[in-house]
């Protein structure tokens, strides 16, 4: 599945970049040797999730969740970045699932904050360096990354409020003006 998707992404990137070369999907690239049916491929593609990985020096990438194997009891873990380049990219700061419409906010220890759309971050396999998301200054590091989902439209918000039942937890609001004695 991953070979076929990677070949399709390369094909789409070649067309989007305006290259005139004929890019053909070969049987080796598509992964015909696994005999993945078109129905199964479409199912996997529809249910594919992506993991965003960000490092201290602002490098990041999106990887398919299918790249991360399940480990059993006593497993040693799975590399999420190229560990041979830790001096260049820094240590791992955050890894979490993202959607194509999400955005991320990065904060550095120098107080710099930027907001980046996730769909602008390149797909890469899990054991690669990634691309520069945040150009940090010398001695500056990314210390926090947060996912920001797109806000709901007014119609969607009204529908969710109408559908929600109010839950009484039995607690009262205790604040500076409402002191419980």
41 shares its domain with 106: no
pLDDT at 174 over 70: no
Does 108 or 154 have the greater pLDDT score? 108
pLDDT of residue 166 exceeding 90:
no
Question: Cα(141)–Cα(93) distance, rounded to whole angstroms?
Answer: 10
Among 56, 58, 63, which residue's Cα sits nearest to residue 78? 63
Tokens of 35: 């005999």
Of 23, 89, 80, 25, residue with least CA distance to 55:
89
Residues 56 and 127 in one domain: yes
* Segment 56-109, tens digit of pLDDT: 999 999 888 777 777 778 878 777 777 788 888 889 899 898 988 899 999 999
Q: Are residues 28 and 58 in the same domain?
A: no
Same domain, 58 and 43: no
Give residue 116's domain range.
49-69+78-152
| Mean pLDDT score of the chain | 73
- Cβ neighbours of 175 (radius 10 Å): 8
Q: Is 95 left (phi over 0), alpha (psi -120 to 50) or beta?
A: beta
What gap in Å lies between CA 29 and CA 18, rounded to an integer? Answer: 22
């Amino acid at each position: 599945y991953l070979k076929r998707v990677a070949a399709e992404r390369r094909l789409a990137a070649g067309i989007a970049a305006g290259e005139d070369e004929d890019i053909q999907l070969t049987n080796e690239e598509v992964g015909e040797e696994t005999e993945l049916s078109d129905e199964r491929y479409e199912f996997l593609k529809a249910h594919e999730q992506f993991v965003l990985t960000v490092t201290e020096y602002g490098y990041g990438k999106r990887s398919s969740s299918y790249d991360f194997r399940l480990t059993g009891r006593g497993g040693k873990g799975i590399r999420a970045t190229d560990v041979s380049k830790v001096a260049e990219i820094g240590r791992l700061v955050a890894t979490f699932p993202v959607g194509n419409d999400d955005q991320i906010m990065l904060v550095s220890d120098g107080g710099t904050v930027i907001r980046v759309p996730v769909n602008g971050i390149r797909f890469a396999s899990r054991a690669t360096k990634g691309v520069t998301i945040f150009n940090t200054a010398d001695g500056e590091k990314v210390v926090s990354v947060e996912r920001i989902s797109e806000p709901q439209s007014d119609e969607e918000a009204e529908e969710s409020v109408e559908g929600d039942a109010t839950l009484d937890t039995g607690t009262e609001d205790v604040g500076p003006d409402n002191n419980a004695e």
